[in-house]
Amino acid sequence: MGALAAFLGVIPESAFAAISRKSKTAKALPSKALHFFNPHTGEKMDVSYFAKGRYSPAALKDISYLFRDHRTGAVKTIDPHLLDYLYGISIKLNTRSSPFHIISGYRTPETNAMLCRESGNVAKNSLHIQGKAVDIRLPDRKISAVRRVAVSLKKGGVGYYPSENFVHVDVGDIRCW
């Protein structure tokens, strides 16, 4: 017993504090959940995508499927930072139980090229192609409010499309249009 006490006396107090902080931090990490509705497919999803300090691979797979290119059915992994951006928007707008309507998530290069030909509002090298962008609306909030909050978070690009009733958010460079 004396040897154990002597050994413990050699370990710096800061090591015990670090161990204690680490276990408290793991318990204190929030879980993050989002609610989605895809108006093109009619699919709904309530999903906890982050818990115990980790992204859930199964949840990310399900979200990527919901965000798929609805024109082709092609799926690409959605960047988890984009989900964190949406989570931040939902917290700031206090809409955690309201679903984000996914107007456009992932787009294949072919779909994006087709949309470029049809509209002057589509970027040739859109981050939608990389799974790093989404066009959204929240039916219980004005899109001007969604835009304002998205801009305030400074997490990436924000495009405002009032005539189409959606806001584009992405995790690229910080910019607005």
pLDDT, tens only, 141-168: 999 999 999 999 999 999 999 999 999 9
Q: What is the mean pLDDT of the chain?
A: 88
- CB atoms inside a 10 Å sphere around CB 156: 21
Partnered with residue 35 across adjacent β-strands are 46
What Å distances lie between residue 66 and 16, 40, 121, 157, CA to CA?
Answer: 45, 10, 23, 22
The answer to whether the CB of 176 falls within 8 A of the CB of 158 is yes
For 30-176, CATH gives 3.30.1380.10
- CB atoms inside a 10 Å sphere around CB 90: 21
pLDDT tier, 44 (very low <50, low <70, confident <90, very high otherwise): very high
Report percent pLDDT > 90 for the chain.
77
Hey, is 25 helix, strand or coil? helix
Confidence at residue 84, expressed as pLDDT on a 0 to 100 scale: 98
The answer to whether the CB of 129 falls within 8 A of the CB of 74 is no
First to last CA, the chain: 69
Q: Has residue 13 got a pLDDT over 90?
A: no
